[in-house]
Amino acid sequence: MLLVEDDENLRFGVAAALRAAGLAVDEASDLPQADEALFVTAYDCAVFDRTLPAGDAARLRDKLRGEGRTVPVLFLTARDTVEDRVEGFASGGDDYLVKPFAVPELVARVRSLCRRAAVVRPPVHRVGDVEIDTARRQVRRGGVLLTLTSREFAVLEVLAARGDQAVSRAELIESCWDEMAEPQSNVLDVLVSQLRRKLGDPPLIHTVRGVGYRLAADGGSR
């Protein structure tokens, strides 16, 4: 997702909370940066501070819709009258949150918008005796509930959504981390090792040399 906020302290705090909730977050501080980021990356959702130094963020939302891009947008604003909220929705916002806001509410709303944008997927993926419940964000093996971190679940979910096809390291990092993570680092390898340990044997996450990883019950090189 993309967070567009010119207040550096607020942007840092909100981005940290969203990342702690397992969401990959890119940041922009003004409309030109946001426009460039949205041109380069297809985000599941975007959070815009309504009033930015270069003008009203609704202008960018209108531009996106004019180009046929349907990324859901949540506006953050200090404008708190009923008329302001109605005008915010009329300007094309998918959701509208008044400052000051509760961070857990923002996280919940962002998750809802991201789900709206996501390609429809089965609510439960099954790989061997593992069940990955994407709605409840729970994983069971042999009926036993496993304890995974938000990031571990995110990686497992991406792998499961691709069936038994290999997913590249770069794609996993792009999907489950933000732009500050580097695909060359070992952050993904460490997480996959932890995930393999929690999933237990027989192993389901297999290394595809020169590509990345695949999730399958039929074996493969590690």
CB atoms within 10 A of CB 157: 20
Per the rule left: phi > 0, alpha: psi between -120 and 50, beta: everything else, 123 is alpha
pLDDT tens track for 84-136: 666 655 555 678 888 888 888 999 889 888 876 654 445 788 888 999 987 77
Single-letter residue type at 167: V
177 or 189, which is more confident?
189
Specify the pLDDT at position 95.
82
- For residue 183, name the pLDDT band (cuts at 50, 70, 90): low
Check: CB of residue 17 under 8 Å from CB of residue 9. Answer: no
Judge whether residue 185 has pLDDT over 60.
yes
Specify the pLDDT at position 176.
80
- For residue 145, name the pLDDT band (cuts at 50, 70, 90): very high
Cα 1 to Cα 196: distance, rounded to the nearest angstrom: 27
Task: Quickly tell me which residue has 């929705």 as its tokens.
Answer: 89
Instruction: For each of the domains in the chain, give its residue range(s) and CATH number, in order of start.
Output: 2-117 (3.40.50.2300), 124-215 (1.10.10.10)
My answer on whether omega of the bond before 32 falls inside 30° of 0, hence cis, is no
What pTM was estimated for this model as a whole?
0.53
Check: CB of residue 184 under 8 Å from CB of residue 171. Answer: no
Cα 185 to Cα 211: distance, rounded to the nearest angstrom: 15
63 or 79, which is more confident?
63
Judge whether residue 70 has pLDDT over 90.
no
Cα 140 to Cα 51: distance, rounded to the nearest angstrom: 45
pLDDT tens track for 167-182: 888 888 877 876 555 5
Cα 59 to Cα 184: distance, rounded to the nearest angstrom: 37
